Amino acid sequence: MTDVTDANRDATADETIRACLSLTAPRSFFLFAGAGSGKTRSLKDALERLDTQTLTTLRKHSRKIAVITYTNAAADEITRRVKADPVFQVQTIHSFAWSLIEGRTADIRGWLEDRLPTEIAKDQATYEKSRAGSKVHATSFKKVASKTKRLERLAEIRAFTYAPQGDNFGRDALQHAEVIALAAHFLTESETFQNIVLARYPFILIDESQDTMKPLMEALLTFEARHRGRIALGLLGDTMQRIYTDGLRDLDQRVGDFAQPAKQMNHRSRARIVDLANAIRRDDDGRQQRAREDKPGGTVRVFLAPSEGTDRAAFEAWTRAEMARITEDRAWQDAEAIKTLTIERHMAAARLGFSELFEPLSKPDKLKDGFRDGTLPAMRLFTYRVLPLVTAQRNGDAFAAMAVLRDGSPLVDKRGIRAGHADQASGLDAARAGVAALMTLFKDERDPSCAEVLAVVAEHRLFPIPDQFRPCLPDNSPVAQDMADILAELGPTFDEQGLTTPEDTPPIATTITEAWTQALAAPFSQVARYLAYVEDRSPYGTHQGVKGLEFPRVMVVADDAHTRFKGLASYETLFEVKPLGPTAQKQADKGEETTIERTRRLLYVTCTRAEESLALVLYSVAPDTIRHFLIFNGWMSEDEVVMAAPGGT
Residue 322, CA distances (Å) to 152, 286, 331, 557 in order: 64, 33, 12, 15
Give CA–CA dist 21/13, Å, rounded. Answer: 13
- Please give the residue that has the higher pLDDT: either 245 or 498: 245
Contact 192, 107 (CB under 8 A): no
pLDDT, tens digit, 9 for 90 and up, residues 544-580: 666 668 999 999 999 988 776 556 788 999 999 998 8
Strand partners, 641: 302
Mean pLDDT of the chain: 86
Q: Report DSSP state, residue 244.
A: S
Contact 456, 479 (CB under 8 A): no
Lowest-confidence segment of 51-65, 440-454, 566-580, 615-629 by average pLDDT: 566-580
DSSP code per residue over 22-76 = -SSS---EEEEE-TTS-HHHHHHHHHHT--HHHHHHHHHTT--EEEEESSHHHHH
pLDDT value, residue 445: 92
pLDDT value, residue 29: 97
Q: Assess whether pLDDT exceeds 50 at residue 217.
A: yes
Give CA–CA dist 458/462, Å, rounded. Answer: 7
Strand partners, 554: 339, 614
In this structure, the strands spanning 265-266 and 262-263 are: unpaired
pLDDT, tens digit, 9 for 90 and up, residues 265-300: 999 999 999 999 999 999 888 899 999 999 999 999
pLDDT, tens digit, 9 for 90 and up, residues 478-490: 544 444 443 343 3
Q: How confident is the model at residue 513 (pLDDT cuts 50, 70, 90)?
A: confident
pLDDT value, residue 509: 37
* pTM for the predicted model, two decimal places: 0.80
Give CA–CA dist 301/602, Å, rounded. Answer: 18
Task: State residue 369 phi and psi, 5-degree precision.
Answer: -65, -50
How many degrees, rounded to 5, is the angle at CA 417 between CA 413 and CA 423?
150
Q: How confident is the model at residue 340 (pLDDT cuts 50, 70, 90)?
A: very high
Tally of residues, the chain: 649
Q: How far is CA 436 from the centre of its chain?
A: 37
Residue 503 in 3-state DSSP?
coil
Task: State residue 21 phi and psi, 5-degree precision.
Answer: -90, 65
Give CA–CA dist 559/231, Å, rounded. Answer: 46
Residue 541 in 3-state DSSP?
strand
Strand partners, 613: 299, 553
Q: Assess whether pLDDT exceeds 50 at residue 499.
A: no
- Please give the residue that has the higher pLDDT: either 92 or 73: 92
Q: Report the pLDDT averaged over residues 436-452.
A: 95
pLDDT, tens digit, 9 for 90 and up, residues 587-641: 777 777 888 998 999 899 999 999 999 999 999 999 999 999 999 999 999 999 9
Residue 143 in 3-state DSSP?
helix
Strand partners, 540: 340
Q: Report DSSP state, residue 385.
A: I
Strand partners, 441: none
Phi/psi class of residue 210: alpha, beta or left (left: φ > 0; alpha: ψ in -120 to 50)?
alpha
In this structure, the strands spanning 290-291 and 540-542 are: unpaired
Give CA–CA dist 548/75, Å, rounded. Answer: 13
pLDDT, tens digit, 9 for 90 and up, residues 155-192: 999 999 997 765 566 778 898 889 999 999 999 999 99
Q: Report the pLDDT averaged over residues 390-397.
A: 96
Strand partners, 306: 620
pLDDT value, residue 151: 93
CB proximity list for 500: less than 8 A, separation 6 or greater: 487, 492, 493, 494
Q: Where are the beta strands (DSSP E) in 307-382?
A: 339-342
User: In the chain, what percentage of residues exceed pLDDT 70?
Assistant: 88
Strand partners, 92: 69
Task: State residue 149 phi and psi, 5-degree precision.
Answer: -60, -40
pLDDT, tens digit, 9 for 90 and up, residues 398-433: 999 999 999 889 888 655 445 444 434 578 889 999
Lowest-confidence segment of 13-22, 93-102, 114-123, 532-541 by average pLDDT: 532-541
Helix 214-226 to helix 191-200 angle, to the nearest 10 degrees?
Answer: 80
pLDDT value, residue 646: 53
